[in-house]
Amino acid sequence: MPNTVPQQDVPFHLTTDTFVTHYGWNLVQNGIITGMPMLYWPLYVELTINKVLKVEYMGIDVEMEGWLVGLVIPEDGELKVRLVIESEH
């Protein structure tokens, strides 16, 4: 059986700087509580309201480009992770 990590523990782990999330409400709340920026990659369109809250309104997360058309380029993911980790905001 593969090793798994409970999703709700990720934002609270001391070595986690950021992570990619589908933006379910529990992780949105955990990200706000911990102050951890997240990379937004939703699975369903209704999760975009959470993006509006944290990316557009609060300005504390980063949106993965291309998710709406189902194509996120790996290089874009690397750039976004670096942006979040190296940002002073």
The 10s digit of each residue's pLDDT in 51-89 is 787 778 887 788 787 777 777 778 887 888 888 888 776
pTM of the complete model: 0.65
Q: How many CA atoms lie within 13 A of 64 on its CB side?
A: 25
Q: Domains along the chain?
A: 7-86 (3.40.50.2000)
- Strand, helix or coil at 62? strand
42 Rama sector, left if φ>0, alpha if ψ -120 to 50, beta otherwise: beta
CA distances from 55 to 5, 9, 12, 85 (A): 26, 22, 20, 16
5-51 pLDDT per residue, tens: 676 677 777 777 777 777 777 877 877 888 888 888 777 766 777 77
